[in-house]
Amino acid sequence: MNTTVDAIYEQGKLTLPQPLALPEKTHVRVTIESDDAVRGAPSPEDNFAKWRGRGHLPAGNNTDEYLHLTRDGNGN
């Protein structure tokens, strides 16, 4: 069974808003996803985060124009 629940980390423990429908002593695996990850903020594992938004694409104002020029060679 897979279930996703929100929790709050307080004083070293995860607090759930309501009890889970599991028998006592059931072993579970917990994957932690912080609010930043949920909101789409770059995670520490995002190797390209420090480069995002830097520099300018040559010969175009946006990615589509640049890819068009690169693909066709002359923009046509």
pLDDT at 3: 85
Is pLDDT at 75 greater than 60 in this prediction?
no
Specify the amino acid at residue 12: G
Residue 13: DSSP 8-state: E
Is pLDDT at 9 greater than 80 in this prediction?
yes
What is the pairing mode between strands 8-10 and 13-15? antiparallel
In the chain, % of residues over pLDDT 70: 54
**pLDDT of 37-74, one tens digit each?**
556 665 566 666 666 666 666 655 677 777 777 766 66
For 8-41, give one letter per residue: b (16+ CB within 10 A) or e.
Answer: eeeeeeeeeeeeeeeeeeeeeeeeeeeeeeeeee
CA distance 74 to 5: 52
